[in-house]
Amino acid sequence: MSVAIRVIPCLDVDAGRVVKGVNFENLNDAGDPVELARRYGNSGADELVFLDITASSSNRETTYEMIRKTADQLFIPLTVGGGVRTVSDVDQLLRAGADKVGINTAGIANPELISDSAKRFGDQCVVISVDVRRNKESVSGFEATTHGGRNSSGRDAIEWIIEAAERGAGEVLLNSMDADGTKNGYDLELISAVRAAVEIPVIASGGAGKLSDFAPAVKAGANAVLAASVFHFNEISIQEVKDELARSGEEVR
């Protein structure tokens, strides 16, 4: 039985506002997260991802109150990430209304965080979020970065994703730092490499710019396609993406 491909908008939140830039820099205001969540919940999104993009780099907690308000608007799964450092952080986010929690920077520093969270809350609640950059020095040609893509982790991205899956991560949110915000299409080589390495679902992120970008990401092995600015600024609708995927032979919800 095939599983329907999910279409997921992403809210990159900085200081209480949704922002979008290119390669995580030169951020532009894209609106209020609670309003956008309501809009996406009503327009056919299968899930919503909420990333507090400066939480790790500026060392502050994700805003729990905003998560609660966002979750209150939704009848679809909500994944929240950013600044998650402890099992207690995961617990608080789940209590605030998140269905799944994305672990990125702290997971690389302390892989036990993934194991411990998966044991306590279940694999389905733990998403390994990886900001990947091309690096010829890495075994696979891809390295995992930390702090919103600002720092090199020294870890090969594919090796890290394999370890995270073995430790109990139930899904990988795969963001190409090279493609992020460029609107030149997803990094198909990266998606294929991860698909060949692990069996857990892969959410492709980074690079969506036009309708024809989505189906190739699925063909490369993505189980879900995530985008931000093209949805926020009404360049493409969720339904248009689903129609395009259906035309290309994919099952959608």
Which residues does the annotation mark as catalytic?
12, 131
Write out the two tokens for 137.
């020095």
CA atoms within 13 Å, Cβ hemisphere of 80: 29
Question: Residues 85, 55: contact at Cβ < 8 Å?
Answer: no
Residue found under tokens 């699925």: 218
- Listing DSSP states for 19-57 in one string gives EEEETTEEEEEEE-HHHHHHHHHHTT-S-EEEEETTTTT
β-strand pairing of 142-146 with 126-134: antiparallel
Q: Which long-range contacts link 231-237 to residues 24+ away (Cβ below 8 Å)? A: 231/9, 231/40, 232/9, 232/18, 232/20, 232/30, 232/31, 232/36, 233/30, 236/208, 236/210, 236/211, 237/43
CA–CA separation, 85 and 146 (whole Å):
13
